[in-house]
C-alpha cells in the first residue's frame, strides 16, 4: 500500500464535505483529495464485490466551476447506500488519520487485500475533470490495483460499461462502440420522413460530443440538429435540461421553430427534457413526468397486445406534477410509488416490479425489467406460433428492453426510446403533450446558513424541522386551490429547494414565494430576502 502518495493529494485541514444526492459535489478546488480517496474506496469496493467498480468525475447540472464524483456498483447502479458512510469517513479523515480509517473499513468489511481490483474511470468535459480523474487513478494505483481510464464519457455510458464488464458481455460489449451498436440496433423504427429534425441542446457538455460519435451508427435513421455542442458556450450556462426545467423556458442557442420538438441534455447526459413553442410562441415543457407517462403507456399497450401478464409500476418523487400522478393512477391504472429524490431511491423502488418505469420530474430516469420479465419477453418474441399482432408487440417490447439503459437515466437512450414511441404511435409532440395538462408549478432556491437545519419525512413531502416550518407551509398552502408545496435541502447545491403547484401560474408563483419567505425566516436564511 503506497499510502504516502496521498501526500500528493493533501486534504485541506478542517474541510468537511457531505456525501450528497449523487456523491460529493462542490467547487472543483476542494476535490483533489476527495478524488484520490474515492479511488481508494472504489478499489476496496471492487475487492469486496470481486467485480469492476466505476468512478465518474462530473458535477452534472452544476456550474462549470464545480465538480463531483459518482461511484458505480457492479450492476451499473449507484454505489450501495451502506458504503456512502465509508465515502464520508475517508473524505473527511485528516491526513494523519487516513491510513487508520482505510484499515478500519478493510476490517469492518472483512476485505481480502490479496486479489487485484479493477476500477473503470470516466469524466465529463469540465476543465478540472482531467486532473481530478488523474487523482482517482492515483488512488487506485496506490493500493496496487488496476484501472481503465475511459476518458471523456457520459455518466450513463460509464454505468453501461461497468455492467457489461461484470456480466461478461451478456448486457453488451464493454466498449463505447458496443454501446453505440447496442442502442442503434435496438432503435429499429423507420421514422416517417415528414418528421422535422429533432433539435438537441447538448448543454455545451459531453452529451453533444457523444451524439456526434453515435451519428454514423444511427445511419440517418434519426435526423437531428445539435446546438450548444460545446464549441463556444459555457457548460450548463443558460442551457441544458436543468435550466430548461427550472426556468420553464427554452435554452439560449437553440433555433426554435413553432411546433417542432426540441430536447435538452444535462451536463453529463443522464437527464433529458423535451419542449416546443406553440404558434403563439408559448413555451411547452415535456418533463420527466410526461416522459414516464409516454413510455409507460406504450409498454402497457404492448403488454396487452402481446398477451403478457407483467406488473408495471411507475416510480416518482415529490416533484412529480400532481396531474401526472392522477393520470397514471386513475386513467392508466398503474401502480405509482413516491420515493425520496435521488436516482438510487427510484432505481431500487422500480426493481420491486416486473417492469419499473422511474423518472424524476427533472428528466432523470429509465426503465428496469426483472430477469423473469426479460425472459418472458424474449421467449415470446422468438415464438414462431404467435399471431402477427402478438409477435410484433413482443418484438417491440424486446427492442425496448435493448434500447433502454437499465443501469441509470440516460439522455441518449431515453431520447431514442421517446423518438421510437412517437414514430410508432404516429404522435406529434403536441399530441404527446395533451395526454394530460400539467398543474402550473414553480421551483425556487433559498440560501440558508446550514441547509441541514431542514429535515423531512414522507418521501420529502413534509418538513419535520425546524420547528414551525411545516405548520407555516400548511397555512400558506391552505390559501390556494389545487395547491401543494414542500421544501427540502438540495444534495447537490448549497441551497434549500422549494416546490409549489397551484391552479394558476400566478398562484403557483405566489405560493412558492410565500413558502420561500417562510424558509428564509424559520430556517436561517442568509443574504437577500426572497422577492416576489
Residues that bind ligand G16 (CB under 6 A): 21-22, 60-61, 266, 270-271, 341-343, 360, 362, 364, 490-493, 497
Query: Phi, psi at residue 337, to the nearest 5°?
Result: -115, 145
In whole angstroms, how close is the CB of 301 to ligand G16 at the nearest point? 28
As given in the structure block, the three cell numbers for residue 260 are 417542432
Euclidean distance between CA atoms 54 and 121, whole angstroms? 6
Q: Which residues are annotated as a binding site?
A: 60, 266, 268, 270, 360-362, 488-492, 497
As given in the structure block, the three cell numbers for residue 27 are 467547487
Question: If 0-12 CB within 10 Å is exposed, 13-18 middle and 19+ buried, where does residue 255 land?
Answer: exposed
CA-nearest of 135, 137, 134 to 120 is: 137
CA-nearest of 328, 323, 288, 338 to 482 is: 323
In whole angstroms, how close is the CB of 329 to ligand G16 at the nearest point? 22
In whole angstroms, how close is the CB of 503 to ligand G16 at the nearest point? 25
Given the C-alpha cell 408559448, which residue does it identify?
282
In whole angstroms, how close is the CB of 431 to ligand G16 at the nearest point? 28
Euclidean distance between CA atoms 411 and 266, whole angstroms? 8
In whole angstroms, how close is the CB of 271 to ligand G16 at the nearest point? 5
In whole angstroms, how close is the CB of 98 to ligand G16 at the nearest point? 27
As given in the structure block, the three cell numbers for residue 355 are 417492469
Smaller CB separation from ligand G16, 18 or 181: 18
End-to-end CA distance of the chain: 57
Smaller CB separation from ligand G16, 472 or 495: 495
Smaller CB separation from ligand G16, 102 or 415: 415
Smaller CB separation from ligand G16, 273 or 429: 273
Smaller CB separation from ligand G16, 210 or 271: 271
In whole angstroms, how close is the CB of 492 to ligand G16 at the nearest point? 3
- Which residues have C-beta within 8 Å of that of residue 521, sequence separation ≥ 6? none
60 as an active site residue: the answer is yes
DSSP state of 22: T
Q: Which residues are annotated as a binding site for Mg(2+)?
A: 60, 266, 268, 270
CA-nearest of 502, 501, 495 to 519 is: 495
- Which residues have C-beta within 8 Å of that of residue 158, sequence separation ≥ 6? 54, 56, 72, 120, 122, 150
Euclidean distance between CA atoms 265 and 363, whole angstroms? 9
- Which residues have C-beta within 8 Å of that of residue 417, sequence separation ≥ 6? 295, 400, 403, 404
Peptide bond into 240 cis (omega under 30): no
Smaller CB separation from ligand G16, 422 or 487: 487
Smaller CB separation from ligand G16, 427 or 453: 453
Smaller CB separation from ligand G16, 11 or 488: 488
Regarding beta strands 283-286 and 272-277, do their DSSP bridges make them parallel or antiparallel, or are they unpaired?
antiparallel
Which one from 51, 60, 133, 323 is the annotated catalytic residue? 60
Q: Which residues pair with 444 in a beta bridge?
A: 498
Q: Which residues pair with 442 in a beta bridge?
A: 500
Give the H or E element holding residue 291: helix 288-306
In whole angstroms, how close is the CB of 493 to ligand G16 at the nearest point? 5
Sign (positive/negative) of CA torsion 231, 285, 244, 342? Answer: negative
CB atoms within 10 A of CB 300: 17
Euclidean distance between CA atoms 391 and 389, whole angstroms? 5
Supply the residues annotated as catalytic.
60
Amino acid at each position: 500500500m503506497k499510502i504516502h502518495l496521498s501526500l500528493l493529494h493533501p486534504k485541506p485541514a478542517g474541510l468537511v464535505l457531505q456525501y450528497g444526492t449523487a456523491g460529493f459535489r462542490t467547487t472543483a478546488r476542494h476535490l483533489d483529495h476527495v478524488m484520490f480517496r474515492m479511488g481508494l474506496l472504489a478499489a476496496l469496493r471492487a475487492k469486496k464485490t470481486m467485480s469492476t467498480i466505476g468512478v465518474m468525475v462530473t458535477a452534472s447540472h452544476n456550474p462549470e466551476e464545480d465538480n463531483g464524483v459518482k461511484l458505480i456498483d457492479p450492476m451499473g447502479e449507484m454505489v450501495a447506500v451502506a458504503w456512502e458512510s465509508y465515502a464520508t469517513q475517508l473524505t473527511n479523515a485528516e491526513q494523519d488519520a487516513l491510513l487508520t480509517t482505510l484499515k478500519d473499513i478493510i476490517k469492518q468489511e472483512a476485505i481480502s487485500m490479496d486479489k487485484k481490483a479493477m476500477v473503470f474511470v470516466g469524466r465529463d468535459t469540465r476543465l478540472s475533470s482531467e486532473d481530478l480523474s488523474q487523482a482517482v487513478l492515483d488512488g487506485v494505483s496506490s493500493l496496487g490495483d488496476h484501472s481503465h481510464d475511459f476518458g471523456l464519457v457520459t455518466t450513463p455510458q460509464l454505468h453501461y460499461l461497468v455492467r457489461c464488464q461484470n456480466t461478461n458481455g451478456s448486457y453488451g460489449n464493454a466498449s463505447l462502440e458496443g454501446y453505440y451498436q447496442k442502442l442503434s440496433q435496438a432503435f429499429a423504427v423507420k421514422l416517417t420522413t415528414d418528421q422535422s429534425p429533432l433539435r438537441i441542446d447538448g448543454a455545451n457538455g459531453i452529451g453533444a460530443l457523444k451524439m456526434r460519435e453515435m451519428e454514423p451508427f444511427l445511419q440517418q435513421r434519426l435526423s437531428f440538429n445539435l446546438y450548444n455542442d460545446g464549441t463556444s458556450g459555457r457548460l450548463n450556462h443558460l442551457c441544458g435540461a436543468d435550466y430548461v426545467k427550472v426556468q420553464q423556458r427554452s435554452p439560449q442557442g437553440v433555433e426554435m421553430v413553432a411546433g417542432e420538438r426540441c430536447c435538452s441534455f444535462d451536463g453529463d447526459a443522464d437527464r433529458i427534457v423535451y419542449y416546443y413553442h406553440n404558434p403563439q410562441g408559448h413555451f411547452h415543457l415535456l418533463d420527466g413526468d410526461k416522459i414516464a407517462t409516454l413510455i409507460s403507456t406504450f409498454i402497457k399497450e404492448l403488454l396487452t397486445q402481446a398477451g403478457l401478464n407483467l406488473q408495471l409500476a411507475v416510480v416518482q418523487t415529490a416533484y412529480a406534477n400532481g396531474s401526472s400522478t392522477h393520470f397514471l393512477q386513475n386513467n392508466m391504472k398503474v401502480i405509482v410509488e413516491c420515493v425520496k429524490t435521488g436516482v438510487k431511491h427510484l432505481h431500487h423502488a422500480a426493481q420491486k416490479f416486473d417492469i419499473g418505469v422511474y423518472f424524476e420530474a427533472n428528466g432523470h430516469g429509465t426503465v428496469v425489467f426483472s430477469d423473469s420479465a426479460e425472459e418472458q419477453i424474449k421467449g415470446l418474441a422468438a415464438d414462431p406460433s404467435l399471431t402477427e399482432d402478438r409477435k410484433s408487440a413482443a418484438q417491440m417490447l424486446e427492442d425496448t428492453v435493448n434500447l433502454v439503459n437499465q443501469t441509470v437515466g440516460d439522455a441518449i437512450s431515453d431520447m431514442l426510446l421517446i423518438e421510437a414511441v412517437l414514430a410508432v404511435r404516429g404522435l406529434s409532440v403536441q399530441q404527446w403533450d395533451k395526454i394530460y395538462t400539467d398543474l402550473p408549478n414553480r421551483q425556487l432556491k433559498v440560501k440558508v446558513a446550514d441547509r441541514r437545519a431542514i429535515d423531512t419525512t414522507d418521501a420529502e413531502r413534509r418538513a419535520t424541522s425546524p420547528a414551525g416550518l411545516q405548520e407555516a407551509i400548511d397555512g400558506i398552502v391552505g390559501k390556494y386551490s389545487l395547491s401543494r408545496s414542500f421544501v427540502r435541502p438540495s444534495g447537490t447545491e448549497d441551497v434549500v429547494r422549494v416546490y409549489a403547484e397551484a391552479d394558476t401560474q400566478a398562484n403557483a408563483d405566489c405560493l412558492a414565494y410565500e413558502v420561500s419567505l417562510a424558509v428564509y425566516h424559520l430556517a436561517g436564511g442568509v443574504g437577500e430576502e426572497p422577492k416576489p
